[in-house]
Amino acid sequence: MSAEIIDGKDFAGGLRARVAEAAAEFEGVTGRKAGLAVVLVGDDPASQVYVRSKGKATIEAGMASFEHRLPADTSQADLIRLVGALNTDPAVDGILVQLPLPDHLDEHAVVETIDPSKDVDGLTPISTGRLALGLPGLVPCTPLGSLMLLKDRLGSLSGLDAVVIGRSILVGKPMAQLLLSESCTVTIAHSRTRDLPAVVRRADIVVAAVGRPEMIKGDWIKRGATVIDVGINRLPPETEGAKGRLVGDVDFASASKVADAITPVPGGVGPMTIACLLRNTMVAAQRRANIHSKDL
Ligand SMILES: Nc1nc2c(c(=O)[nH]1)N[C@@H](CN(C=O)c1ccc(C(=O)N[C@@H](CCC(=O)O)C(=O)O)cc1)CN2
Residues 229-275: tens digit of each pLDDT: 999 999 999 888 888 999 999 999 999 999 999 999 999 999 999 99
251-257, long-range: CB within 8 Å, 24+ apart, which pairs?
Answer: 251/214, 251/215, 251/216, 251/217, 251/218, 252/214, 253/218, 254/217, 254/218, 254/219, 255/3, 255/216, 255/217, 255/218, 255/221, 255/227, 256/2, 256/3, 256/5, 256/218, 257/1, 257/2, 257/3, 257/218
pLDDT in tens, 5-59: 999 999 999 999 999 999 999 999 999 999 999 999 999 999 999 999 999 999 9
Helix axes 269-288, 8-30, angle to 10 degrees: 20
Using one digit for the tens of pLDDT, what is the confidence trace for 149-186?
999 999 999 999 999 999 999 999 999 999 999 999 99
Task: Name the catalytic one among 33, 93, 98, 177.
Answer: 98
Q: Tell me: pLDDT of 1 over 70.
A: no
Closest ligand 1 atom to 98 CA: 1
Would you list which residues are annotated within the binding site for NADP(+)? 166-168, 232
ipTM of the complex: 0.97
Q: How many Å apart are CA 257 and CA 224, to the nearest integer?
A: 10
Nearest CA to ligand 1 atom 11: 50
Asked about 286 being catalytic, the answer comes back as no
Confidence of residue 293 (pLDDT cuts 50, 70, 90): confident
pLDDT (average), residues 128-140: 97
Residue in 100, 23, 36 with CA at minimum distance from that of residue 108: 100
Mean residue pLDDT of the chain comes to 97
Give the pLDDT score at 239: 82
Nearest-atom number in ligand 1 for the CA of 97 is 1
**How far, CA to CA in Å, does 24 sit from each of 33, 52, 54, 96, 276?**
8, 22, 18, 22, 17
| pLDDT exceeds 90 at position 221 | yes
Q: Which one is catalytic: 121, 204, 229, 249?
A: 121
> What is the mean predicted confidence (pLDDT) over 86-114?
98
Q: Which domains does the chain have, with CATH numbers?
A: 31-115 (3.40.50.10860), 141-270 (3.40.50.720)
Nearest to 160 by CA among 226, 110, 81: 226
Residue nearest to atom 4 of ligand 1 (CA): 99
For ligand 1, atom 31: residue with the closest CA: 270
121 is catalytic: yes
- Calculate what percentage of the chain has a pLDDT beyond 90: 96
Q: Which of 11, 149, 232 to mutate to test ligand 1, by most ligand atoms within 8 A of the CB atom?
A: 232
* Threshold 0.90, pTM exceeds: yes
Residues having CB closer than 6 A to ligand 1 are 50, 96-99, 121, 141-142, 170, 232, 246, 265-267, 270-271, 273-274
Which pLDDT score, from 0 to 100, does residue 240 have? 81
State the pLDDT at residue 294: 83
Give nearest CA residue, ligand 1 atom 14.
Answer: 50
